[in-house]
Amino acid sequence: MLNRRAMLRGMASGVSALCGTSLLPGLSMASPSTNTTPKRIIFFLQNQGFDPKTCIPAGMKSSGSLANVKLPEPISPLEPYKDRLHIINGLHGLHTSPSHSAFFGALGGYRGSDGVPPSGPTIDYELSKALPQTLLPHLCIGMDSMENMTTKPTIATLSASGAGQPIFMHSNPNHLYQMLYGGISSGDIRLQHEARSAVFNQIEQLASNNGRTLPAADRQRYGEYVRGFNDVNGLRNRLDSVAEHLRQFAPEVDERYTNPEFETDWHDVLLDLGISSLTSGITNTLTIGSGRGEIFGAWKGLGIDQQGHNLGHMDQPDNPIWIKIRQYNSRMLVKIMEALESIPEGSGTMMDHTLIVYTSNNADKQHTSGSNWPVMLLGNFDGAFKTGCFTQLDGKRPINALYASLLRAAGQNCDRFNMTDQLARKFDSGNGPLGEILT
């Protein structure tokens, strides 16, 4: 028998996770018979900083090819994929004041801080609007300690659709699975999906009717929740309409969902759900927050007892703990690439039209000024980006310039992203995208 109180708590989390996201009617299908090649992009942010010594090959001081060098141990799982890798060093985020984390500023390219709402849209959201339309334009998933993911299954710290409009990330894989695949499931998952759907429909109708009697100021705020339920119901209906297509992509539910031994079990299945949302065409923009944009996080499944803030006080180079974490990340990146590579698309595969952006939400280390913000790119986004190389910049271009480059590659005429002329005079020595990384 369903626990109604628990179900309502889960529903509230689901609505919160979708508020601020515009759900679109299209579905981008991967098909070898179509002439279209829908692009997609993945952002993977690891908290506590990204020390450049953990990704730049020994002895490389200037830009050059990766062909005849060996990758550092922390990213060694990427060695077979060097020809698809582009390591960028020398971008900065001084204007974001990252400190423990830049929070929304990491993907927004503006000042960010703990508890401060976003001051504008983030690059992942802007790209989700520029890329071909899908059922769910933007999916965010967050990985953390078991306690944090359980008590706060949704949280917003990294992505935003506009000023004061955070986008929530999903951290409970059971909730996310039910949202994406509940309509094609059986047993308890199907029963929970149907019960939740019925209640959602009732709430939307009641909320829409009752909201008309509220004062104007409250009516606007109330309307946001009504739209949230409308989005949930609309997404469910659209997913149900392509149920047969989705069946071939839905991950198998096992004990890692319901009885995880370590938090990394949930990390792994969250990644599976993220990959399936890309390969099925549900979305073309995925944001992954390992540590969820804060200073927490745990990886006991890797044999690491230390967790949270203390990890940021450890030097990352040659540190066995950080080698394990970074290698774990790298294996996740490989898993994404292999999954996309296995599906034909156009004259190639899905990976040929995809870009993965790997970095941190607070530059090079936990206590940082943001003077250096290393980034790794995997894939070339349908030939838009150079690969198989290392690029050393002079530290005078901000992360905003990288984001302008991404928008250019997505077909948007963008010279600056979230940076006024006044701010650029102080923090950007150039204008437009990074010519060093584009083909």
Q: What is the DSSP string of 198-261?
A: HHHHHHHHHHHHHGGGS-HHHHHHHHHHHHHHHHHHHHHHHHHHTHHHHHTTPPPP-HHHHS-S
Residue 191, judged by CB atoms within 10 A of its CB (0-12, 13-18, 19+), counts as middle
For residue 232, pLDDT over 80 is answered with no
| Tokens 């200037």 -> residue | 62
pLDDT recorded at residue 179: 86
Confidence of residue 244 (pLDDT cuts 50, 70, 90): confident
For residue 1, pLDDT over 70 is answered with no
Mean pLDDT of 358-373: 96
CB of 411 closer than 8 Å to CB of 386: no
Domain membership flag for residue 217:
yes
Degrees (nearest 5) of the Cα angle 369, 73, 333? Answer: 80
For residue 21, pLDDT over 70 is answered with no
Domain membership flag for residue 371:
yes
Strand partners, 236: none
Q: Write the CB contacts of 88 (distance below 8 Å, at least 6 apart in sequence).
A: 374, 375, 376, 377, 390, 391, 393, 402, 437
Domain membership flag for residue 434:
no
| Domain span including residue 359 | 4-379+387-427
Residue 248, judged by CB atoms within 10 A of its CB (0-12, 13-18, 19+), counts as exposed
Please write the tens of the pLDDT for every residue from 165-224.
Answer: 999 999 999 989 988 988 675 566 555 554 455 544 554 455 555 555 556 655 555 555
Domain membership flag for residue 435:
no
Total number of domains in the chain = 1
Domain membership flag for residue 437:
no
For residue 315, pLDDT over 60 is answered with yes
| pLDDT more than 90, % of the chain | 73
Strands 375-378 and 354-360: antiparallel
Give dist(CA 373, CA 92) in Å, integer. 5
For residue 125, pLDDT over 60 is answered with yes
pLDDT recorded at residue 241: 78
Domain membership flag for residue 162:
yes
Domain membership flag for residue 436:
no
Degrees (nearest 5) of the Cα angle 241, 350, 131? Answer: 70
Domain membership flag for residue 439:
no
Please write the tens of the pLDDT for every residue from 262-291.
Answer: 999 999 999 999 999 999 999 999 999 999
Q: Report which DSSP code applies to 139.
A: E
Give dist(CA 170, CA 362) in Å, integer. 21
pLDDT recorded at residue 38: 85
Confidence of residue 13 (pLDDT cuts 50, 70, 90): very low
CA-nearest of 277, 278, 270 to 350 is: 278
Give dist(CA 92, CA 343) in Å, integer. 36
Q: Write the CB contacts of 373 (distance below 8 Å, at least 6 apart in sequence).
A: 50, 91, 92, 93, 359, 360, 363, 364, 399
